[in-house]
Structure 1
Amino acid sequence: MAPATFAYRYQSVLVPVIFEPWARELIHRADPREGEHILDLACGTGVVSRQVAKHRANLGSLTGVDHSSEMLEVARILAEEADLDARWIEADAGALPFDDDCFTLAFCQQALQFFPDKPAALSELRRVLKPGGRVAACVQKELEINPMLKAQASALDAHVGRSAGDAVRAICGLPDGDEIRRLFEDAGFQDVEVEATTLILHHPDAKAFAEGAMGGMHTGDKLSGMAAGAIERAVDAFLVGLGDCLDGPAMHAPHVSNVITARA
């Protein structure tokens, strides 16, 4: 993995702070069983898959799907390093390349809000799950109750431009639990539960995290091409925006998402 790639920055900066804690939360909710066939939808660099393998041995199969070949390449490398037997498939969530009734459990972490056709993606997810199969997902709630993202959006607005801040706001683009419930039910899911859930995210060096997060977020590096002084001012604005989430050099920020569980 070349450190300069976006997927590497995403994996090294954002995954340990944000996506590993949420992966563990989803796995706790779903409690994977031995022999299960698991789909990691919009898997990114494969964090849910790696955490599932740590949680439960003797899985039936483990399949990660993402639209980004760069993310999947990092997932493959990390899986090989961990001696993890998994398939990594490049595909669109709205057109999954699987037969009906393939999986018993699916995870989808912080991705539904980005799917261009959410009903199609959820219908496809329902199709590839066996009857009674389970899904565990999470989707970011409003920007106003997520201080880390709010600080990031504000800093980007002020120092890069509104379109850069909009990329962060898109992370919070599907905050309504009732809307999410309707989407799942309309796709044919049953026993749909949506619960607002808060995790406290930690990093011992908030400045290092801010520098990395601005260049490793879901939507790409928003600081590329800027002069060093301008980058420093944007990072400083991010830190000021964190306010009470700073404890000396460290960051302890609440991160609020809707957690969804449902059955096919």
Structure 2
Amino acid sequence: MNQQPDLSPAEVYERYLSRAIADPWTRVLLELALPKPGERVLDIACGTGSVARQVAPMVGISGQVLALDINSEMLEVGRAQPSPAGASILWQEGDATRLELPGDAFDLVLCQQGFQFFPDRVASGREMRRVLRDGGRAVISVWQSLSRHPLYEELFTATARVLDAPISDVDVAFSLSNPEELYTLLSEAGFHYIEITPRSLFIRMPEPERFVQFSILGAATSVPAFASMDAIERFALVEKVRAKTHAIIQGFRDGDSLAFSMETNIAIAK
């Protein structure tokens, strides 16, 4: 990717984080979700649409896919991507804690790495349950703990120190790592059958020299500590964090990529 000074956080997310991380993890999510032709699917916290685009061919032209996110810029970037075969995708801005959707409307609700960001997780879980038809299922993935992701642990530890902030302000993506907590949340939301499965995947990320830049800019799509910064503030942060983490990041370098494992918990709730 050519460096572009006007590249937005949502564009960085799609070109860098979505293609290297979200796309391969979507395949894992859908292997467990088992979408069927003709099903009605809701992709909550869809981001730029990795899950929506991959599930559309699986449910086919007789199916329906609604991609919902609270971030209008992510939706705009998602709409701009090539349309997949199968079901057409309807893109809609919306709040996961208060879905403006009818009950019993979907066969399958998918949420990849979004649940941990919701301000009221139980309310979001109840909304997922409400919009599912009887016998429907929700499949939700959340990252395992930051300690299981040493590259990101170094990145966010250094970032928190530069910002003089608690690490909880910057590592939101890893904030729902306890499978028992996830189980309890879904149980309180009204799901009766809940199975949580751990999964691990080896990731390769291009352009190692821009890992800090793209990770922080991509996180500005969802993490308030980064979203509240202007471009100059984020640039200054990137330069400081890059200097502090350069040697450690090089330890994950494999040729022209960074290579590392990521681990997630995937819940199937019915």
Tell me if TM exceeds 0.5.
yes
After TM superposition, the structure 1 stretch with the greater mean CA deviation from structure 2, 58-67 or 234-243, is 234-243
* Cα contact 1:33–1:59 (8 A) shared by 2: no
1:33: which partner in 2? 36
Task: Work out the CA distance in 2 between the residues paired with 1:146 and 1:187.
Answer: 29
Alignment of 1:1-264 (within 5 A): 3-78=6-81, 80=83, 85-158=88-161, 160-163=162-165, 165-217=167-219, 218-219=222-223, 220=226, 224-226=231-233, 231-242=238-249, 244-263=251-270
After TM superposition, the structure 1 stretch with the greater mean CA deviation from structure 2, 164-173 or 196-205, is 164-173
Task: Work out the CA distance in 2 between the residues paired with 1:227 and 1:91.
Answer: 27
TM-score (norm 1): 0.88
Deviation at 1:154, TM superposition (A): 2.2
Task: Work out the CA distance in 2 between the residues paired with 1:228 and 1:126.
Answer: 41
Q: Return structure 1 stretches of 4+ with deviation > 4 angstroms.
A: 79-84, 226-230
Cα shift readout 1:150-196 (whole Å, capped 9, x = no counterpart): 121023134x3133854432111111101111111121213211122
Task: Work out the CA distance in 2 between the residues paired with 1:123 and 1:74.
Answer: 28
Q: 5+ unaligned residues in a row in structure 1: which ranges?
A: none
* Cα contact 2:54–2:84 (8 A) shared by 1: no
Cα shift readout 1:125-147 (whole Å, capped 9, x = no counterpart): 00000111111111111111112
Deviation at 1:223, TM superposition (A): 8.5
Please state whether the residue corresponding to 2:133 is helix, strand or coil: strand
Task: Work out the CA distance in 1 between the residues paired with 2:33 and 2:158.
Answer: 36
After TM superposition, the structure 1 stretch with the greater mean CA deviation from structure 2, 176-185 or 215-224, is 215-224
* Cα contact 2:60–2:85 (8 A) shared by 1: no
**Counterpart of 2:139 in structure 1: which amino acid?**
A
Cα shift readout 1:104-145 (whole Å, capped 9, x = no counterpart): 011101111111111111001000001111111111111111
Task: Work out the CA distance in 1 between the residues paired with 2:246 and 2:60.
Answer: 41
| Amino-acid identity (%) | 31
**Counterpart of 2:257 in structure 1: which amino acid?**
A
Cα shift readout 1:187-244 (whole Å, capped 9, x = no counterpart): 1213211122211111243223332112212424669325978744522433433465
Aligned residues: 261
Q: Structure 1's 164 and 251: CA in aligned 2 closer, same or farther, altered over 3 A?
A: farther
Q: 5+ unaligned residues in a row in structure 2: which ranges?
A: none
RMSD: 2.5
